[in-house]
Amino acid sequence: MAPIDAQKIQLFISLFRGRIDAYARRWEKGEQSGYSPAYEFNWDEFMAHKRRGGSIKDFENKKLLPLTAEVIKKHLFGLLVVGVYPILPDNTTHFLAADFDGENWRKEATAFIEACGAVGLAAYLERSRSGNGGHVWIFFADSYPCYRSRRIGLELIRRAFGMSEFEREVSFDRLFPNQDSVSKGGFGNLIALPFQGRAVAQGNTVLLEKENDTPLPDQWEFL
């Protein structure tokens, strides 16, 4: 990919836009991995709390870290793997993303994109971090109620595959946001951001051509 400057970082933030007061970081420990909200805290104080049987969830003296341009820069350069929380505090979202995994993910993601196109919605395919699935992104000009965006997404799934969200005959996994709303203090499901530096080097977390699995020649120009 082309060199990344401040203008590109702001462009990225303007599209893949979720909560900015919180974000998630991917962690690995042995054979286990996952995502957790990013916090700032005193490590010695937390370890003492942990020795008493506590966990980060019930550790009170912690502060959520905001999603800043510097965090995004580290993600784009491969120093972090960042996940964004799509649901804003007012239960709206700036995008809808459909997750596809499994053997036929490419074919069925394409069918979903075609269903979007049939009703005038532009949708864009990103190969996921694993390389064995993809995210189809739909962006909104303004924040949009989650329950409405999810209703649209599920109807498009039904049209593309003649199925409900609970059936598993196809590779469709879930929508992001995955809830219509979240309670106060909740985050909802996260989605990993694209363009992660190390994954990009392997041809993953990039946007693909409509006709094949080839990454778009100039990702930033396309954005």
pLDDT at position 57 is 82
Q: Classify burial at 106, counting beta carbons within 10 Å of its beta carbon; exposed 0-12, middle 13-18, buried 19 or more.
A: middle
Q: Could you tell me where the beta strands, DSSP code E, fall in the chain?
A: 24-29, 32-37, 39-40, 63-64, 82-84, 92-101, 124-127, 133-145, 172-176, 191-192
With cut-offs at 50, 70 and 90, classify the pLDDT of residue 40: very high
CA dist., res. 216 & res. 51, Å (int): 50
Q: What mean pLDDT value characterizes the chain? A: 92
Amino acid at 173: D
Neighbour count for residue 23 (Cβ, 10 Å): 26
CA dist., res. 57 & res. 54, Å (int): 8
pLDDT at position 2 is 61
Does the pLDDT of residue 164 top 70, yes or no?
no
CA dist., res. 130 & res. 127, Å (int): 8
What is the arithmetic mean of pLDDT over 184-208? 95
Q: Could you tell me where the beta strands, DSSP code E, fall in 75-207?
A: 82-84, 92-101, 124-127, 133-145, 172-176, 191-192
176: tokens are: 């992001």
Q: What is the pTM of this model?
A: 0.90
120 Rama class: left (phi>0) / alpha (psi -120 to 50) / beta: left
